[in-house]
Amino acid sequence: GENVEQHPSTLSVQEGDSAVIKCTYSDSASNYFPWYKQELGKRPQLIIDIRSNVGEKKDQRIAVTLNKTAKHFSLHITETQPEDSAVYFCAASGAGSYQLTFGKGTKLSVIP
């Protein structure tokens, strides 16, 4: 089955700096890659997603890039703010199964 590795496990940045979280996946047939944000004690919520026919997608301060050849994708947050502090999970969904396999998460701390 699919295996998703996520790095780093923790990340601290100064407010206003950029943050980058990277994930790799094992199943070359995977074609959907969402990112979820989970604040402490809250439910995971989708913040951005990308499909395998697209290399990059942006939504205001958040962007995701996908390299199908290398089987990795990354989340980029620019101009970080304290409210960006949370755990971020990447996930991958294989063609046909549509089941999401999640990474272990990255705890992002934005220091004011």
Partner 1 sequence: EAGVAQSPRYKIIEKRQSVAFWCNPISGHATLYWYQQILGQGPKLLIQFQNNGVVDDSQLPKDRFSAERLKGVDSTLKIQPAKLEDSAVYLCASSFRTGAGELFFGEGSRLTVL
Residues that bind partner 1 (CB under 8 A): 4, 6, 31-32, 34, 42-46, 49, 51, 89, 91, 93, 97-105
Measured from the CB atom, the residue of 18 and 58 that comes closer to partner 1 is 58
Contact by Cβ (8 Å): 102, 91? yes
Measured from the CB atom, the residue of 84 and 89 that comes closer to partner 1 is 89
- Count H helices, E strands: the chain? 0, 11
Measured from the CB atom, the residue of 71 and 78 that comes closer to partner 1 is 71
Distances (CA, A) of 5 to 17, 72, 94, 110: 24, 9, 15, 23
Beta bridge partners of 6: 23
CB of 98 to partner 1, least distance (A): 5
CB of 47 to partner 1, least distance (A): 10
